[in-house]
Structure 1
Amino acid sequence: MSRTGRPTDDRKEDRLQFRLSEGDSNKLEYCCEVLGLTKAEVIRQGIDAMYIKAQKQK
Structure 2
Amino acid sequence: MTLLLLGGVLLETGKKRGPKTDNPKPYRMAVKYDEECKQILDAYCEQENGNKMEAARRGIKKLKDDLKK
TM-score, normalised via structure 2 length? 0.69
Where is the strand percentage greater, Structure 1 or Structure 2? 2
Give matches, 1:38-49, under 5 Å. Answer: 38-49=51-62
What runs of 5+ residues in structure 2 fail to find an aligned partner?
1-10
Which one has a larger percent helix, Structure 1 or Structure 2?
Answer: 1
**Which one scores higher on RCO, CA 8 angstroms, separation ≥ 6?**
1
User: What number of residue pairs does the alignment pair up?
Assistant: 56
Q: TM-score, normalised by structure 1?
A: 0.80
Where in structure 1 do 4 or more consecutive aligned residues deviate above 2 Å? none
Percent sequence identity over matched residues? 27
